[in-house]
Structure formats: structure tokens, C-alpha cells
Structure 1
């Protein structure tokens, strides 16, 4: 492949396909490049993975959920299948197996894309490669002994995929809690190195947590409204869609026998050490619970609804774990989130900020005009990378691209 294009969209997940749909609606010709197949990144999740939002929250432009289980939670293969089917209905070609290895500006304008299938030159590029690309390992993991298997979440499939023996789960967000629960239910002994993460009940007053929050400003929050820009890297709320959806947080995990401790410090004298800060992490999560509760109560006041029963959190019982003998652990599973990874393949000075997020104006790079981003966490608002929010961002970007190309 060696050719020119007006617009190239990189990635055929929900962000790339939403962008393709919106460009199609505006009559903008383009091509979509995908490293594997449409929606394939979802298939890399662990075996039992499900959506956390109910199926009806899949509100993609041109591909909303219309199945028979709107209040259920699709598994990873169903999500991927939904996106793959959508890709087949779009007019723009989706070139699978065409990973982009390098993207760089051309002196005369536009961009050169070096791909597995050759080189392509494009006037405009939209990067839609996912909210995060690189598993994050806290620095303390480097202090663990080489004899102890340390596995990133991307390497986890099911409890049987881990070495025998107790598991130390490092992390505290949705994925960490879901995997810790699955391991405990399988009979594994689990210790969890906890950090700060929000939580809220799965259901309150007969409504799902997402139904409540979609009626509040929560998902419309912008970066400048956060306490600090680094808050973008915070954990997602602790909750599960498995088994029809249920509560999942530190208290439910403790009730299953998961032993909780503070954040990972490393290893010393034959022990894995956890910080004595579990109380602070629990207090942080409880504080967010109260904030979300206030938002829900505001919805009730505005809509004339009866307040749901949302009591004060019960005390977390049990002594925190502060050390575990290395010899007792079978493995360490790191589920500490992901980080952006744009600069490893996009050659543009000043492309990202100190946290690795694109520096942009309304999705368009300030360092390279005509280079756009869609599907980035908090790109325009909290919902920017989500299945019910990415469509709005894709429409905004398609408007900018169409205006730039002079397409009516």
C-alpha cells in the first residue's frame, strides 16, 4: 500500500467507528486503519469480562443497543461482535491487520503513516486508538523479587491462568475488584493492595447507578473542573456487571474473605510490604460515595422523586494486612489501570502533556494541526471515551474535519 487519502481514522473500536459514521454523515471520504479487526481490543479482556454499564447505555451513533436484554450486561465477545457488525454497515473501508507503526507530519502539510501494509499519506488524521494503551505498573513493583511472578491484567484470562497459590492483587478500581472477586470465588486466597477508588451501590431506589448518574452532571465534568489534571488517572467506580450486576467494593470483598491492605511498598526481608494507609483509601471512597449521593438526592428534588435509601457506609472491620511472606504468594496480579502511549509511535514534539494526554483544542492537536483525537479519557468531558459519550465527541471532530476540507 502506497497511496494518498484526505482523511485517515486510526482504530476501529467504538471511537474510530463513531468517527467514521459521523464523517460519512457529512460526506467526508476517509479510510479506517485497524491493527486487528473491528472491536478486537474488547476480546483481549479476561474471559468473564462484562460491561459495567447496562446494555442500553451503548448509545453509539448509528449503532445503539437494540437487543432483547437492555438491562443486562454484554460480555466481551458480544461487545466486539456488536462493533464488528457496525463496521460492516459503514461505507468507509476498514483495513484490518494494518497497524500504524509511525505517524509524522510532512514538511508540506499532512502526515505520513508507516503501516504494516506500507506507507500512506493523509491530509487529516484522526487517532482513535483507545482511552489507554499501556498497562501501568506502580514503581513499587520493581522492588518485588524476580522469583515472584508479576502479571499485568492484560495477561490474565481466568483464575486457572495464574500460577497456583495465593494472589496479591495490586489495584483498586473496577477491574482490580472484579478480578479479586473472581479469584476469591474460585477458592483462591487473595490479598489486595488497595488505593483510592470511588464506589456506589449498583442499584438504589429501583434504579441502576448509571441511570441515576446520567441524570446528573457527573459524566459532563470537564478536566478543568477536576481537583487536578492528574485526577484523570483516578480509578473508575467500584461496581460489577457480572451475574446481572451487583455491588462490589472493599466491604463486599472483605465479606468474601479477601484480605485488604494499603498500597504496595515493595519487598523487604522476605516479605511483601503494604503501606498502613487502608483507612485513608476507604475514607476517600466513602467521601466520593457521599458526593454521588448528594447528586442523586439533587435529581430526586428536581424531578419530584422519593429519595432512595443510601445510608452512611458501615465500618470496615478486620485488621489491615501490612506484610505477606514472599514464599506464600503464587503470583502478583497488577490491575492498576492504564496510561496513554502516543509518543512511542507519533513523532510530534509537544504532542502530550506531563501525564501523556494529547494537548489539544476541541480534540485537535495544538502541536500538529489536522491531527485529531477521539476516544481519549476526559478529552472533552468524563464521558468522552465511553459507549454513551464517544458519539458526541466524534460528531464534534467530524464537524471540524468537514469544515477544514470545505465539505458542506
Structure 2
């Protein structure tokens, strides 16, 4: 079988790949999009109850801005998938579905991409495989008894799909909180091994949390504005479920979720947890204070009165009830929702293409060690919003301009 010779290839047909394809076509750049499954990427693989956390009006892809009648609502994962597939159907470039790229290597005049349908050679390649590629696994669970199932956030679907029994949820961010809430509302006993994520009310002063953060320029932060490791920190605890409502450690505790410190180790059916719940809650409250200061700053700039922001309630009762070990007898599953990491180094076989944290080493999206190799849709690629539905379009535009630039 011969090698298919192409000029430009985009790998991935999720929001990043489709936005890039739109922008390349707008500049007259012929290209082909390779997608492992179907357009929409991983959105179709989310849990059954998944909704956007940002309001619908934050869907701002080039050529596919949200235009529905519920801008303040929160689309389901199915609705987002349909939105992206409609977007893909309107784009002029060739889209090859069911074509996973297994390996990318440098080749004469560009790059070779080995796919299930044969090899492709391209002068330039845009890697747009998404920000959430590999769920983080926990070494602490290595000693867990095989009678308890371990399900990562990518594999979780709904409470009924888990084995019967109590559930230990490990994590602190949006997914961990949303899954814990769903499980306890389904009648499960839920214990949560907590990490350090910020929280804030869903709405303050008649404005949504995301609207305050956008207005404050929070999502305009660049990689240079935060330490590299901070790019992996959990997002503010929030949910778009049931129209969007407050969701954080205190609301979960009120529903009956048992809170514990972070998971240290598991030996059979005994889990050892840290006695750091007090520090964890204090860190979360520090995040509340940071967001509150951003809200007041926005009001000062806009010349508007700052809304009343209720301070966090006392955590003494929550801390006093925290255990230092858990008997997992009767538990059916552990759900691990501790975030994601990239997997570029697994298939992009270019030495030095990513740093020690797994992020591409780049200038404006183009690799510094492999000219003509571009990245779009990476968390914190150029800004905090680079992987988000209201940020990836700007990076796609910048990428398309670099690709189209005469060489």
C-alpha cells in the first residue's frame, strides 16, 4: 500500500479540529481531517447526565456560535455532540472518520502519520486531539481488593451501571462533585476523598459564575502567569445540572456525602486517608475569596455596586466527622475523578515535543522542536481558555494563520 501524500492534515474532529478546519478553509488552505471515531470527539462518550458547566452562550466556535433560545442554559453532552456534528457537515474539507492516527514521526519534507487505513505523509500537521486524553490513575489504589470495581471518570456512565453498594469518589473538581451528587441522590452511600479545589456560588448579583470570571479576565491568563504545575489544578466546583446550581463540599455534605481527607493508600478493604480535610476545606475557601475579589474588581471597573457575597460557613462539624481510615466492606466501586493528562508522547514520536508536565513545547501553537507541527485545543496552550468552547476558536485562527503563511 502506498503512502497518501497530503499538504496539511488536522488530527481530530472535536471542537479544536473542526474550528481549525473552518479557519484553514477560510484562508484557502487545502487539508484533510482525520478522526478516530466520529465528529464531536469525546463529547459523545461523556456520562449520561453530563452537561456543560459554562452557559450555552459561551459556545463560540468560529462559524458555529450558539444560536438557540436558551443562552443561559447548559447543553447536555448529546446536544454538544449534535452541535459539533452539524458544524462538521457544513465544513468543506474532507473528513475521514474511523481513521485513528497510531503514530506520527518526522519524514522527508514533513511528517508521516500511520493510521488504520494506511500511511499518510503531510507537510504540516495540526494535532487537535483534545485536552482530556488520559484519565489520571492513582497508585494508591494498587492494593485494592479485586471485589471492588475501579471506574475512572471517562468510564463512568450512571449510578445503575456501577456494582451495588457504597461508592468511594476520589477527587475534588467539577466531575468528582457532580458524580458524588448524582450517586447520593440515587440513594447510594457516598464517601468522598477530597482534594483541593476552589468553590463559589453558581450565581451572585444576578450573574453567572462564568460571566463574572470572563468579565474579570480570569480566562485570559497565559501559561507565564501561573507555575507550570498549576495548570493541572482543579477548576472551580460547579455544575450545569438541573439548570445550574451551587455544588461544593458543603452542599454535598448536606445531601449526605461523607467527606474525608485525600486518599493515601489502600490495603485490601482498608483505605487510609489523610487527616487533612480541614486544610482542604480552608484551601477551597481561599479559592472562594479569590473569586469574590474578582467579582468586586469587575464591579469597580463597571462602576456598579458589588453584590452581597455570603462568607463560607464554619467547617468544624465537617472536619470533626472526618475519618482517618475507611472500611470498604460493602463498597461496590471506587470512582476516580482526579483529572486528566496528555498522551501526546505515546504516539507523537518527536523527542522533546512535550515538557515534563506533558504540555507541548511551542511558540504560538507551533512546536519549537518540529517546525510544521502545530497544536490546538490544549489546556493553557496560549491562555487558560485555550481548550474551552469560548477560547479554542482564537487558537484555531492563530494556527491557521501560521499554517497559511508562505514558507
Which TM-score band applies after superposition, normalised by the shorter structure?
A: over 0.9
Report what 2:228 is aligned to: 229
Counterpart Cα distance in 2 of 1:188 and 1:306: 43
Q: Is 2:52 the partner of 1:55?
A: no
Residue 88 of structure 2: SS of its match in structure 1? helix
The offset of 1:295, in angstroms, is 1.0
Large movers: runs of 4+ above 3 Å: none
Unpaired runs of 5+ in structure 1? none
Report what 2:271 is aligned to: 272
Shift of the 270–58 alpha-carbon distance from structure 1 to 2, 3 Å rule, reads closer
**Contact residue 261 and residue 322 of structure 1 kept, 8 A:** yes
Report what 2:13 is aligned to: 12
The offset of 1:388, in angstroms, is 0.2
Q: Is 2:167 the partner of 1:167?
A: yes
Alpha-carbon deviations, 1:255-294, whole Å to 9, x = none?
0000001110112484211111111111111111111111
Alignment of 1:313-324 (within 5 A): 313-316=312-315, 317-318=317-318, 319-324=321-326
Report what 1:358 is aligned to: 360
Counterpart Cα distance in 1 of 2:305 and 2:245: 22
Q: Is 2:120 the partner of 1:127?
A: no
Counterpart Cα distance in 2 of 1:193 and 1:309: 32
Report what 1:375 is aligned to: 377
**Contact residue 111 and residue 123 of structure 1 kept, 8 A:** yes
**Contact residue 112 and residue 120 of structure 1 kept, 8 A:** yes
Counterpart Cα distance in 1 of 2:17 and 2:274: 41
Counterpart Cα distance in 1 of 2:3 and 2:57: 41
Q: Is 2:292 the partner of 1:293?
A: yes
- The count of corresponding residues between Structure 1 and Structure 2 is 403
**Contact residue 213 and residue 219 of structure 2 kept, 8 A:** yes
**Contact residue 12 and residue 129 of structure 2 kept, 8 A:** yes
Q: Is 2:150 the partner of 1:140?
A: no
Residue 379 of structure 1: SS of its match in structure 2? coil
Q: Is 2:343 the partner of 1:344?
A: no
The offset of 1:404, in angstroms, is 4.1
The offset of 1:355, in angstroms, is 1.1
- More off after superposition, 276-285 vs 263-272: 263-272
Report what 1:104 is aligned to: 105
Could you say what the CA RMSD is over the residues aligned between the two structures, in angstroms? 1.2
TM-score of the superposed pair, with normalisation by structure 1: 0.97
Counterpart Cα distance in 1 of 2:265 and 2:145: 9
**Contact residue 132 and residue 341 of structure 1 kept, 8 A:** no
**Contact residue 144 and residue 268 of structure 2 kept, 8 A:** no
Counterpart Cα distance in 2 of 1:74 and 1:217: 24
**Contact residue 259 and residue 321 of structure 1 kept, 8 A:** no
Counterpart Cα distance in 1 of 2:116 and 2:305: 57
Counterpart Cα distance in 2 of 1:16 and 1:269: 44
- More off after superposition, 271-280 vs 313-322: 313-322
Report what 2:25 is aligned to: 24
